[in-house]
Amino acid sequence: MTKALKTYSQEKIDLPFDENVLLGKVADSSIKIYRNDFRAYVSFASTKEKILDPTTFVNWKDDLITNTKASPKTINRMLSCVRKIILEASCLGKIGKSLAEKFEQISRIKENQLKTV
C-alpha cells in the first residue's frame, strides 16, 4: 500500500518562527493541520537556509506532485499552510517581507500537473 504523503524526519531546526505564529489567528482545530504541513516542509527542506529559500518550496511542491498520491486539493492546502506561516512570520518581523512575497508568487497546482500512473 502506497502512502498518499511521504513521511519526513522530524529533526529540530532553529528558525526565527514556527507554526505557532498562527495561534489566535486561525481556529484551534486548524492549528494541527498547519503544524503537520509546515513540519513536512521543514523536514523536506532540512536546513534553515533551505526552508527560507523559495526554490526549496518549489522543489517541495514538485516532490509532492511527483512522489505522492496526494490530490491537487491536498497539495494546494499544504502549500497554502506554509505560505500563511511564512506571511505571518513576515508580518511579525521575523523574516523580510520581500522573502514572504517570493513564497506568495509560487503558483498553486492544477489537476493536469499531477503524474499519471
Residue 21 resides in a domain: no
C-alpha cell of residue 53: 529559500
Residue 116 resides in a domain: no
Residue 18 resides in a domain: no
Residue 94 resides in a domain: yes
Q: Would you say 19 and 34 are in contact if contact means Cβ atoms under 8 Å apart?
A: yes
Structural domain including 65 reads 27-110
How many domains would you assign to the chain?
A: 1
Residue 84 resides in a domain: yes
What pLDDT tens digit does each residue of the chain (117 aa) get?
334 455 545 556 777 787 888 888 888 889 999 999 999 999 999 999 999 999 999 999 999 999 999 999 999 999 999 999 999 999 999 999 999 999 999 999 987 766 554
Residue 101 resides in a domain: yes
Residue 7 resides in a domain: no
Dihedral of alpha carbons 25, 26, 27, 28, sign: negative
